[in-house]
Amino acid sequence: MLNELMELNELSEKGKKGVEDRVYERIVSIKARNISPVILGGPRGDTVFENGNQVEWWGVRPTAVRGVWRWWIRAILSGIAWENEYNLDYKDMSKLEAKIGLGTVKGLDNKDGESS
């Protein structure tokens, strides 16, 4: 893995084509069923694109997955806090999210230095 990263870094410094394709190589495939509203589509908001003579689906945006994930984590953490008689405000919740690796909302004063 380290050798591949070093090779990609060298190629990107030289400006060679194809680096982007190798960086965005599929790492893992996850099959899931969505029960929450998410934004589908590509960079222009369209849900499908032409690839030669085939029509392919853009899929779910990564930002949409992250947003749904954060929403559910907030709901679960808020429920746990409520049951244990803790009163978490928005800043406290953001700090808690940062500690578990979800980042924080930009512009929110966070003394831990975490940002999304």
Q: What tens digit of pLDDT does each residue of 1-24 get?
A: 555 555 655 655 555 555 455 555
pLDDT (tens digit per residue) in 50-91: 778 877 777 777 777 788 888 888 888 888 888 888 888 888
Output the pTM of the full model. 0.47
Check pLDDT > 50 for residue 114: no
Alpha-carbon distance of 67 to 61, in angstroms, equals 10
pLDDT reported for residue 115 = 46
72 token code pair: 């559910």
Alpha-carbon distance of 71 to 37, in angstroms, equals 11
Q: Helix crossing, 62-83 with 90-99: angle to 10°?
A: 110
